[in-house]
Amino acid sequence: MGYNLLKGKRGIIFGALDENSIAWKTAQTVHDEGGTFVLTNAPIAMRMGQIDELAKKTGSEIIPADATSVEDLDNLVAKSVEILGGKIDFVLHSIGMSVNVRKGRAYTDEKYDFTQKGWDVSALSFHKVMQSLYKADAMNEWGSIVALTYMAAQRTFPDYNDMADNKAYLESVARSFGYFFGKEKKVRVNTISQSPTATTAGQGVKGFDGFISYAEKMSPLGNASAQDCADYTITLFSDLTRKVTMQNLFHDGGFSNTGVSQEVIEKF
């Protein structure tokens, strides 16, 4: 049962692949809270996932877009405003991909063409999305833009590979663009640093099951689920958080501020 937190609000949700993805859960929750939105993903990801099913459930339209293509993004923004009947109130950037990880390349043996592609998809795309929105003046005042990140941007997780660098860049873009979007358009820009979550993308990281179980033992509240993250994202889309911007918000059950837990001590 929703609270109508997003009644009358319009948005764009990037990255819904299947029912395990945070973007999928967020779309469902936005719908429950009265918001309307356009769904978008890269054409190849759309062929792999079940985005059509989500669109039917939420009464949403789908606009394919390569998030690394400025032309695609400009088209996405223009069409979204047209379809939704007005300017945008919220955007979720839930995109991440490392070719080095997919190909099994170690961090100390990167293929830099792979590195550049992953950086473009995972991090620079966030700047491109915001630049398209900014130049088109497509965001309503007090709108909210959120991207998903992970704590490997601050701490070393060896198997997270070059995605750690991508996330660090993503968080920097949020702060830098957040200044201009806030000053000139009164739009908020934040990142959510989520617990390791059993999504299709997350499971591609070597040793991911170990990540999850370790974080569960370290976090006083346990890991935040994909649905938990969707619920938190909704608060940032709502009018209840109008003065929160340029923040990297840890949503991890307390993991980020825990040195060691009793469970980990007992384990070793």
The one catalytic residue among 134, 160, 169, 214: 160
Q: What is the structure's pLDDT at 46?
A: 77
What does each C-alpha distance from 59 to 38, 168, 229 come to in angstroms?
9, 35, 22
Domain 8-264: homologous superfamily in CATH: NAD(P)-binding Rossmann-like Domain (3.40.50.720)
Q: What is the structure's pLDDT at 172?
A: 98
Q: Which residues are annotated as a binding site?
A: 15, 21-22, 95, 167
Q: Which residues are annotated as a binding site for NAD(+)?
A: 15, 21-22, 95, 167
**pLDDT higher than 90, residue 199:** no
Q: How many CB atoms lie within 10 A of CB 127?
A: 17
Kind plus residue range of the DSSP H or E element containing 169: helix 163-185
Instruction: Let me know if 169 is a catalytic residue.
Output: no
Rg value, the chain, Cα: 18
Residue 52 pLDDT grade (very low, low, confident, very high; cuts 50, 70, 90): very high
Q: What is the structure's pLDDT at 209?
A: 81
- Give the mean model confidence (pLDDT) for residues 166-194: 98
- Give the mean model confidence (pLDDT) for residues 105-111: 97
Q: What is the structure's pLDDT at 249?
A: 98
Who contacts 220 (Cβ-Cβ below 8 Å, separation ≥6)? 253, 254, 258, 261
The one catalytic residue among 3, 112, 134, 150: 150
Least confident of 46-50, 92-96, 158-162, 201-205: 201-205
Q: What is the structure's pLDDT at 179?
A: 98
List, for residues 58-69, the tens digit of each pLDDT value.
Answer: 999 999 999 999
Residue 203 pLDDT grade (very low, low, confident, very high; cuts 50, 70, 90): low
- Give the mean model confidence (pLDDT) for residues 251-261: 97
Residue 205 pLDDT grade (very low, low, confident, very high; cuts 50, 70, 90): low
**202 compared with 126, residue with greater pLDDT:** 126
Kind plus residue range of the DSSP H or E element containing 148: strand 139-149
Kind plus residue range of the DSSP H or E element containing 132: helix 125-135
Least confident of 14-28, 41-55, 180-194: 41-55
**pLDDT higher than 70, residue 166:** yes
**In 3D, which of 255, 235, 256 has the Cα closest to residue 244?**
235
